[in-house]
Each structure stands twice: as structure tokens, then as C-alpha cells.
Structure 1
Amino acid sequence: MQAAEQHRALNLWRLATVASVRRDGPDLTARQMAILLTAYMTPPPHTVRGLAEAMGISKPAVTRALDRLGDLGFLRRKVDDTDRRSVLVQRTVKGSVFLSEFAELVRGAERMLDGVESGDPA
């Protein structure tokens, strides 16, 4: 990746993150956001063990993040009826709405960058 592409990618992330912390919603850690995005953007079923393996982090780290995401209503945990030792991580409508709104923040940041780069800072 060229330096200009790296700069644009980081600036896009910066603008979306700044917009996110300005709004009234919760601030998520990078780990919480990564788990939330993984649960919504990869095919279910998801388990604590599976998320930990997919992300290369410990099960306790996933559990702590899920505690917060559960408190916010973005994900929920349910004991797997077929294997009571396994905990399923389920999506919620509230989590879907949060990510849809975050996607709009990213799109807005992209439009802002496109305007600046074209000389039209709309």
C-alpha cells in the first residue's frame, strides 16, 4: 500500500471514529467493536470459543467484551441446547441498528474525504 493510500485509510478511520464519539451512543473499545463486527459480518453460529480462535485472543478477553456488548443489548449469549458446555453468541436488533448507524458514519467520512480530495469540502 502506498503512503497516500495508508494516509487515506487512517484518515477515514479517524473521521469515522471521531464522528462516533461525538454522537450520543456508547464508546466501544477496539476489541468490543472487532467482536461485534465479526459476529455480524461472518456467518453464524458464533461461540465464545470460536470468536476467540478466529480473532486470536483469549476466551476471557472475549467474555469481558461480551459482558459489555450484552449490557448494551448489542449481542446476547445463550447456552447451546445441543451442547450445554457451549455458549452461543447471538445478534440482536439493537446491535444491527448500531452497526447500520456506524456504517453511515463511515460513509459520511468517505464522502468528506472525497470532497476534500476533489477540492469541494462539502
Structure 2
Amino acid sequence: MPVTLRPGQALGLWRSTLLAQVLADAPDLTTRQMAILLTIYLDPPPHTIRGLAAKLSVTKPVITRALDTMGELKLVSRHRDEADRRNVLVRRTVEGSLFVEGIGDIIIAKARDLPT
């Protein structure tokens, strides 16, 4: 069954999800970093810097900077592709999986609180 939200409801859901993240002292990711992270976790692997840059229409340095931050937070990891050493593979981590799953849980909980 499709979910129908008015723009104000959708924005309220987004705001309450962000606020829950702030109150939980979760990592403070930029919108771009979050888009990259969700692409890594929601799209099937493998993921490369080149592939992520193409998919998100940004440059490889943009992806690299975002991955630097997310790597420090242990949300993703990077490894050389043994089959083609020119490629860097971006992998999911346990910490990143829990972080992304937690966001999904927050969205579900906050959506239940929406007035009908």
C-alpha cells in the first residue's frame, strides 16, 4: 500500500528524523555524505570511487573527501581491488550498517506518529 504524505508532513518527518539524530548525538553528516552513504548501503555492491562519482554526478575528489570523513567514523572502509589495483573498493562496515538501520528505525517510528 503506497504511503501518501502532504509536503508539510514529509518535511515534518524529515525534521523529526534529523532532530532524533541530533539528540542521539549521531555523526553529523552533510547531505552529500548521507547521499553517498545511503547509496553504498542501499545499492548492491561492489562500489568504487569512480562508480559512486558517476552515479551521484560529482567528482572523484568529492567522493574521496566524503569517504575520508565516513571512514574516520567507521561507517565505511576502503580497500584496493585485487583484480584491478587501480580501483578502490568501498565497503560497508558493521558500524555503518547499524547507523543506517538506526535511521530507518527512526523514520518508521516518526512516521507512525504522523497525524492521519
* TM-score normalised by the chain length of structure 2: 0.91
Task: Output the aligned Cα RMSD.
Answer: 1.1
Deviation string, structure 1 residues 74-100 (Cα, Å, up to 9, x no partner): 100001001111100000111000111
Q: Any stretches of 5+ residues in structure 2 without a counterpart?
A: none
Q: Any stretches of 5+ residues in structure 1 without a counterpart?
A: none
How far the C-alpha of 1:24 sits from its partner, in A, is 2.4
2:15 match: secondary structure? helix
Higher helix share: 1
Instruction: Give the corresponding residue for 1:78.
Output: 79
Instruction: Give the corresponding residue for 1:18.
Output: 19
Report the Cα distance in structure 2 between the residues aligned to 1:18 and 1:98, rounded to whole angstroms: 15
Report the Cα distance in structure 1 between the residues aligned to 2:47 and 2:8, rounded to whole angstroms: 34
Report the Cα distance in structure 1 between the residues aligned to 2:46 and 2:58, rounded to whole angstroms: 18
Report the Cα distance in structure 1 between the residues aligned to 2:95 and 2:75, rounded to whole angstroms: 5
How far the C-alpha of 1:28 sits from its partner, in A, is 0.9
Moved over 4 A (4+): none
Instruction: Give the corresponding residue for 2:90.
Output: 89
Q: How does 1:25-40 map to 2 (within 5 A)?
A: 25-40=26-41
Partner AA of 2:88 in structure 1? V
The higher radius of gyration belongs to 1
Instruction: Give the corresponding residue for 2:65.
Output: 64
Matched, 1:41 2:45: no
Partner AA of 1:39 in structure 2? I
Report the Cα distance in structure 2 between the residues aligned to 1:95 and 1:76, rounded to whole angstroms: 9
How far the C-alpha of 1:43 sits from its partner, in A, is 0.7
1:90 match: secondary structure? strand
Partner AA of 1:60 in structure 2? P
Report the Cα distance in structure 2 between the residues aligned to 1:36 and 1:64, rounded to whole angstroms: 13
Q: Indicate the percent of aligned positions where both proteins have the same amino acid.
A: 49
2:109 match: secondary structure? helix
* TM-score normalised by the chain length of structure 1: 0.87
